[in-house]
């Protein structure tokens, strides 16, 4: 009986050591962050394709709408519809229905419209030579550290002055931004 209790205790210690080494919560959060990064890449790519085909951005009414060319400060993508019109979903549907092509796949739109979605934000200065930045709030420690490092010293020189606007929410919260 004592031997059985010792075996159970040893198994318990080993199980605890394995669980702490694997850290399942960190793994789940890293998986979510990877999904958010993929969503951000898809959205960023769709915006670029939209601009290439239409010669204006999806948050603009048309190519003469200079008032809405920039998206500053960083703006939640679901709220972009209110910039050029009142339909909150219009940016996503505008991109997805562009020219009969499927620029943003329906599963991504469905995911982005869920109330439990980890939202994406967009920043664009309005200068055609500038990059668009699509950002998300990382959940895992590894993505958070990566975001902090990139925000503090990995942004292009012309955007360093904008770092606080683009990826540094406050002194301890950093957004992971693409590209």
Residue-wise pLDDT tens for the chain (179 aa)? 888 889 999 998 888 878 777 788 888 899 999 998 998 888 888 888 888 888 888 888 788 878 777 877 777 776 665 555 544 456 666 666 655 556 667 777 777 777 777 678 888 888 777 778 888 889 999 998 888 888 777 665 555 455 556 677 676 788 888 88
Query: Domain limits at 123?
Result: 2-178
Alpha helices in the chain (DSSP H): 2-22, 24-54, 81-84, 90-96, 106-113, 141-153, 163-166
Instruction: Give residue 140's pLDDT.
Output: 92
Question: Can you tell me which residue has the tokens 């030579």?
Answer: 129
Structure tokens at 170: 């406050």
Whole-prediction pTM: 0.75
pLDDT score recorded for residue 37: 92
Q: How many domains does the chain have?
A: 1
Q: Find, among 133, 35, 130, the residue nearest to 75 by Cα.
A: 133
Alpha-carbon distance 24 to 126, whole Å? 41
Q: Which residues contact 132 (CB under 8 A, 6 or more apart)?
A: 44, 47, 48, 122, 123, 124, 179
Q: How many CB atoms within 10 Å of residue 158?
A: 12
pLDDT of residue 8: 92
Residue of 123, 150, 160 whose CA lies nearest to 47: 123
CA distance 69 to 41: 21
Strands (E), the chain: 71-76, 120-124, 133-136, 176-178
Q: What is the pLDDT of residues 79-100, one digit of tens each?
A: 665 555 544 456 666 666 655 5
Q: What are phi and psi of 72, to 5 degrees?
A: -135, 140
User: CB of 112 within 8 A of CB of 76?
Assistant: no
In this prediction, residue 162 carries a pLDDT of 57
């Amino acid at each position: 009986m004592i031997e059985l209790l010792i075996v159970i205790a040893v198994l318990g210690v080993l199980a605890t050591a394995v669980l702490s080494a694997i850290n399942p919560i960190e793994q789940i959060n890293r998986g979510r962050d990877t999904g958010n990064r993929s969503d951000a890449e898809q959205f960023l790519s769709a915006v670029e394709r939209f601009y290439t085909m239409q010669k204006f951005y999806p948050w603009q009414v048309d190519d003469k709408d200079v008032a809405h060319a920039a998206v500053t400060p960083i703006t939640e993508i679901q709220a972009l519809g209110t910039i050029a019109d009142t339909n909150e979903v219009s940016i996503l549907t505008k991109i997805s229905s562009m020219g009969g092509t499927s620029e943003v796949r329906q599963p991504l739109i469905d995911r982005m419209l869920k109330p439990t979605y980890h939202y994406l934000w967009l920043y664009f200065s309005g200068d055609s030579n500038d990059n668009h930045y699509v950002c998300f709030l990382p959940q895992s420690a590894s993505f958070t550290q990566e975001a902090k490092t990139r925000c503090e010293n990995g942004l292009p020189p012309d955007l360093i002055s904008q770092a606080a606007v683009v990826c540094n929410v406050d002194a301890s919260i950093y957004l992971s931004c693409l590209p």
